[in-house]
Structure 1
Amino acid sequence: MTNEAKTNQEETTQQDTQEEVVEEVFAEEVEEDTTTEGSTNELTAKLEESENKYLRLRADFDNYRRRVQLDEEANKKFRAQSLVTDLLTSLDNFERALQVETENEQTQSLLQGMEMVYRGIQDALKREGVEEIDAQGAAFDPHLHQAVMQESTPDAEPNTVTAVFQKGYKLHDRVIRPAMVKVNE
């Protein structure tokens, strides 16, 4: 073989080898691309899942914060409820004492002092949001009234309050004691 033939043969062998190397490298790159795409898809799915978990956790926390805030507002609004409930019995006793008829001047001045104290207590309760339930002549409402008697009176409308035995009270639209009433049938 001549030098030229040897050189041609070597060049052909080198070209074949280069083509094989290029094909192998290309095949490896294709494999790497598919594995990279697979891991990218997995990472994207994990990222989306983490984002969803974060959003749910954030929404839960916001709901919790709102609930706590509403509870705090309700506690502030109704903080005096137990005190008011305890005072209502004394307030009823004050009203009964003020209804006593007397002609004695000393007793009348004592009653005037009691009236001033009674009005002061009523004003303080109003400032706290306590309201008296107006029951006389009103339509019976089981949320506001407690029927303790019934009567049949042709003068009154059916299912209306004809007498109030004990006043009822509300604290910021929450009934703390229903009015004890007599209802027309």
Structure 2
Amino acid sequence: MSQTDQAKTNEDEQTLNDQENEELENMADENLSDEEEQNVEEKILMDIKDIDELKKNADESQQKLLRTQADFDNFRRRTRMEKEEALKYASKGLIEQLLPVIDNFERAISSSAETKDFDSLMKGIEMVFDQMKQTFDSEELKPIESIGQPFNPEYHQAIMQVESEEYEEGIVVEEVQKGYILKDKVLRPAMVKVSS
């Protein structure tokens, strides 16, 4: 219950008390029979009981409101902390998947340094590259297919226009840097050369 509501309740109680006192004074001025006096006293006692009940209900409502507000504040604080934690460690899963790739790169480098065997090194790097591609595939990272496709500014970044007899105007003829899509969002547009 807000302070305004509490003040209003207090004013209402004071008004009721004033009215009861005025009624008592008026009744005292008049000569009432014993039965009428007893009825008035019973009415006053009932009114006092009602006022006490209203005060009790108002206090309970105030306590419930304060508990609810505290619960909401705690919920908001806990949610903010969980969100910060999730953002802080958002890349944890991907990094865990890439650690074996790093391990294999280290093994390939170490092995090739000892044996000086270029063919083994090349084979090892290809295997690690395939492992990395599988990791990216599992995260739904896909390369943007560019060569032979119409230029699309959502997926391509044109760095040059070139003459081409093989392709008509506005077609990607060369990919300078691969572009990638993560799930359904362009992570990096492909840098391309476009036929003019």
TM-score, length of structure 1 as denominator length: 0.43
Q: Which has the larger radius of gyration?
A: 1
Greater relative CO (CA pairs within 8 A, separation 6+): 1
TM-score, length of structure 2 as denominator length: 0.41
